[in-house]
Amino acid sequence: MKDIARDILITGLDQRLLTFKTAKAAAGTPIHGWLRAVRTAIGIKQGDVAKALGVARQSYAQFEEAEKQGSISLNSLRRAAEAMDCELIYFVVPREAVARTYAELAQRHDSEFKHLQASEHSMALEGQAVGDLPPKQKQ
């Protein structure tokens, strides 16, 4: 049963992957981070966002700096976005150099599959390979 649920999850993720990759390519991260870029674009001051968050302006300034440094928590990022009438959207995709899909990524992390690949390789050396496994990717 666990494998069926996992397969359904992988299928669902793979169906969304093109959308995720398209969004990733289109988005890019502004040099000073999303919070500052959006705040500046909609024309509000740090103090206004801080007030909506219920924190001091200096605390909100730390949110923007933490985002720029890559150390802001998702919760803080979400709260700051909401204070500007925005929402946080995020996703995690396989690194292109590692796998093209979540299914391929799952195979790379499956110890049983790695054993099958090793067996297939040994059999190929003896001219007895079945040939039904995808080629082993370089790591």
Same domain, 24 and 75: yes
Q: Please, what sign has the CA dihedral across residues 26, 30, 36, 39?
A: negative
- Count of domains for the chain: 2
pLDDT of residue 94: 93
Q: What is the pLDDT of residues 109-135, one digit of tens each?
A: 876 655 555 566 566 666 765 555 555
Range of the domain at 138: 109-139
CATH number at residue 44: 1.10.260
**What is the rounded CA–CA span in Å between residue 117 and residue 107?**
10
Q: What is the pLDDT of residues 12-71, one digit of tens each?
A: 999 999 999 899 888 888 999 999 999 999 999 999 999 999 999 999 999 999 999 999
Whether 137 shows a pLDDT value over 80: the answer reads: no
Same domain, 75 and 135: no
Same domain, 76 and 10: yes
**Is the model's pTM score more than 0.85?**
no
